[in-house]
């Protein structure tokens, strides 16, 4: 988010929990190691998380609480949300790392809350990321592509991104007044 703000010559939004902050340029609800699914999902599958619950659902609940605490004039707040850019970063990427959708998507909840501008990036090519290359190292050279990336993980990532693009197209049809932009991190990374 900080690099996106910088690209538009805007100050970075302050973390929403930072005391005495001004939020003229937005608020950040980002959490390192966040996952799309909540902790309960992983626990029921016997998957142990390495971090606290920073799921998209938890971040959305923080967003909703923040709106309630800062917005004494609902109409003015809705007007601001209509002009704001909502950046939903790499949905589900950490879920795949931990576990290799729940009701309404977070994107729909943001739209219902008044968001009219969403920037939703796809996942980076997981098969090219150092952590994945280390965790899933293969001795067979046929498992790697011309970029020395793991083929299987990149096929999986492409399928995820294709599904995400399809979901965004469906949301665009369902919410024609909302601007939804897909950012293709996969191919941008490979270029």
SS3 for the chain is CHHHHHHCCCCCCEECCCCCCCCCCCEECCCCCCCCCCHHHHHHCCCCCCCCCCCHHHHHHHHHHHHHHHCCCHHHHHHHHHHCCEECCCCCHHHHHHHCCCCCCHHHHHHHCCCCEEEEECCCCHHHCHHHHHHCCCCCHHHECCCCCEHHHHHHHHHHHHHHHHHHHHHHHHCCCCEEEEECHHHHHHC
More confident residue, 86 or 150: 150
Question: Model confidence over 89-138: pLDDT tens digits?
Answer: 555 554 444 433 344 566 777 787 778 888 888 889 999 999 889 989 99
Residue 50 pLDDT greater than 50, yes or no: yes
Is 70 exceeded by the pLDDT of residue 32?
A: no
pLDDT-based confidence at 21, cuts 50/70/90? confident
Mean pLDDT computed over 63-72: 69
């Amino acid at each position: 988010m900080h690099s996106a703000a910088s690209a538009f010559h805007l100050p970075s939004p302050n973390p929403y929990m930072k005391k005495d902050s001004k939020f003229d340029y937005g608020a950040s609800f980002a959490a390192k190691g966040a996952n799309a699914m909540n902790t309960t999902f992983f626990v029921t599958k016997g998957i142990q998380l390495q971090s606290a619950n920073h799921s998209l659902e938890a971040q959305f609940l923080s967003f909703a609480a923040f709106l309630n605490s800062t917005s004494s004039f609902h109409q003015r707040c809705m007007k601001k949300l209509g002009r704001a850019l909502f950046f939903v970063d790499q949905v589900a990427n950490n879920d795949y790392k931990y576990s290799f959708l729940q009701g309404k998507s977070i994107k729909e909840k943001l739209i219902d809350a008044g968001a009219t501008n969403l920037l939703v990036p796809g996942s980076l090519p997981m098969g090219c990321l150092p952590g994945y290359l280390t965790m899933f190292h293969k001795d067979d050279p046929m498992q790697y592509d011309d970029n020395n990336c793991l083929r299987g993980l990149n096929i999986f990532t492409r399928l995820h991104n294709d599904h995400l693009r399809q979901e965004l197209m469906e949301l665009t049809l369902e919410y024609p007044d909302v601007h939804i932009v897909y950012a293709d991190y996969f191919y941008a990374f490979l270029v």
